[in-house]
Structure 1
């Protein structure tokens, strides 16, 4: 496999269990941050350009050239940064974090500026297209129990929408925006009418929502929780009744029988393949797995790493999966050892890993 040839989409093995051979062409970005990595986002206009936010108060922009990672730029917040995303034209990088500030970095000029604020930490943000005119906006979700829509040309938000509780996760695809808050609330928003909640529901999972990812059709989404479970949900009630389901993942059995006790880990991150519509989950167990939603089975399981995986992200064509090996705070401050790495690994995907197939 190669990042720069047709080999990146060839099958390396037919097995559903990955081996070291499946990872031999991975590119490692050592010392990608000085503290825990919180988010990774690829440019929608470039296959190998991505931004990384971290608890060291910085956002870094990396580029892969000739199989080597090169730092392109960085900008800072006053406190830990929790999220980052690129504008649709790839010219700007937005970020938010514990200083309650929304920053915008212009890739061409190298300048960053504050474009908005919340009254508490900003946990997630997305660039979206609103209304029948598809106006590009930046939507930010905060622990202040609101989301805000920003026109980058104006200092005040276009709209502020009150939510039931603190925002823990958020994603968008097409006209669908889904927000997961504390107390397992799920708010579904139709971006044709972004100022209102289209539908409110509770997560079907019994424990706190950790991650959300919308599917490419814009009619469904996946939810991951702290209890090692994932749920597939549809906006339409009839589709949900017919096609919705949940399953266990990111668990390690402690015995030789199915009834044995299992160690249960949070599902930290979910990402949908931008072309094939399959998806990947990553967890505090240090594993990531590719899944086929339509046929309800796992496509490929990758070996357990020695460290937690807080975030995964596909590039625009789905030919590369980036994942971080970094502390995810699921054991609190006592679990954050000094020898914990802050590494990003870029894995070139093969069709055997991410292409939907029947059992």
Structure 2
């Protein structure tokens, strides 16, 4: 059986993002909050979660990801800036400034790229190396971005109006390097694919499968869609959507947004976190739920699996789905779940 505990020093305001390091030997994770801080934690072998650093920003931080190692993070901030931060020294470098709040930031180790998306309907593509000979490139989007996710070869941008753009990272890297002299380095890069979401309501989150086969998206209306990158008719016929995160109240199904999706790095199953305070584990291939965990005190805000797949960290914050706008005690918290060997594994047929 798995063991779960909450950490002693959570953020003081709503949590916007939580990401583990991609280093399989590490249990370090970063948390972004509306209290204007990024928190760096590490889970120890004796079931302790230590707060290693707390890095202040000028405005609420909406996203965070690790860079080339455990000492480097990138942040997306409501002050319009994208920052590279060295955790041990607190040294901060502004990579670029958008024209509105920055919603997401992701790092591609394979292609040496840092990619941010902001509410000015642009994507900025930055070289991960400070010594790179090309500047930040800007790509205009057709709609405001809501969520970004990377696989080893693709970038998925989920936007308003149920639009999704899929870019090939190798193409992005090549075009950016070739266009260093373009006017203000604004690139007219066509996405590899343009898609319309299979879900009828606004997209809330997207996450790519660890094997680079496809992605899952979620909506504000308690549904998840699973899709494959391969554009062939055969692969596209495999896509499907399902209902989830609904709670019966007085014989009526109350529908909650699915705020977070996280694929397991080893087994390829995925977790969903809803406004109902529930985390569920799903088998994307078998199209079935593997398990559901006990309801938590408030809405699931963010989730992440450790790179070795043995820990699931879950952040909760009030989503105000119940109409109450005050912060109740215990409504902002981070839970660490130590996963059993077969807990999130696909079931044998």
TM-score calculated relative to the size of structure 1: 0.86
Q: CA deviation at 1:340?
A: 5.3
Separation in structure 1 between the aligned mates of residue 247 and residue 325 of structure 2, nearest angstrom: 19
SS at the partner of 1:192? helix
Separation in structure 1 between the aligned mates of residue 321 and residue 160 of structure 2, nearest angstrom: 16
**Preserved CA contact (<8 Å) 1:41 1:84:** yes
Over 6 Å off, 4+ runs: none
SS at the partner of 2:343? helix
**CA shift digits 1:279-308 (9 cap, x unpaired):** 000010000000001111101111112211
Aligned counterpart, 1:143: 119
Aligned counterpart, 1:216: 210
Structure 1 pair 78–202 and aligned structure 2 pair: CA distance change class (3 A): same
Aligned counterpart, 2:179: none
Which moved further from structure 2: 84-93 or 236-245? 236-245
Aligned counterpart, 1:119: 99
Equivalent residue for 2:85, pick from 101, 105, 112? 105
1:161-172 map, 5 Å: 161-172=139-150
Separation in structure 2 between the aligned mates of residue 186 and residue 135 of structure 1, nearest angstrom: 21
Residue 229 (1) aligns with residue 223 (2): yes
Alignment size in residue pairs: 328
Aligned counterpart, 1:44: 22
Residue 176 (1) aligns with residue 154 (2): yes
Residue 276 (1) aligns with residue 252 (2): no
**Preserved CA contact (<8 Å) 1:116 1:157:** no
Where does the alignment leave 5 or more consecutive residues of structure 1 unmatched?
1-11, 13-21
Q: CA deviation at 1:30?
A: 3.2
Separation in structure 1 between the aligned mates of residue 124 and residue 118 of structure 2, nearest angstrom: 9
Separation in structure 2 between the aligned mates of residue 85 and residue 176 of structure 1, nearest angstrom: 17
Q: CA deviation at 1:309?
A: 0.8
SS at the partner of 2:236? helix
Q: CA deviation at 1:244?
A: 0.8
Which structure is higher in RCO with an 8 Å CA cutoff and minimum separation 6?
1
**Preserved CA contact (<8 Å) 2:213 2:229:** yes
Residue 53 (1) aligns with residue 48 (2): no
SS at the partner of 2:171? coil
Please provide the CA RMSD for this pair.
2.0
Q: CA deviation at 1:75?
A: 1.3
Structure 1 pair 329–146 and aligned structure 2 pair: CA distance change class (3 A): farther
SS at the partner of 2:75? strand
Separation in structure 2 between the aligned mates of residue 53 and residue 292 of structure 1, nearest angstrom: 29
Separation in structure 1 between the aligned mates of residue 153 and residue 102 of structure 2, nearest angstrom: 22
**Preserved CA contact (<8 Å) 1:290 1:353:** no
SS at the partner of 1:310? strand
Separation in structure 1 between the aligned mates of residue 58 and residue 68 of structure 2, nearest angstrom: 26
Separation in structure 2 between the aligned mates of residue 27 and residue 254 of structure 1, nearest angstrom: 28
Aligned counterpart, 1:35: 13
Separation in structure 2 between the aligned mates of residue 312 and residue 234 of structure 1, nearest angstrom: 22
Residue 86 (1) aligns with residue 86 (2): no
Q: CA deviation at 1:43?
A: 1.4
**Preserved CA contact (<8 Å) 1:213 1:270:** yes
Structure 1 pair 346–157 and aligned structure 2 pair: CA distance change class (3 A): farther
1:175-214 map, 5 Å: 175-194=153-172, 195-214=189-208
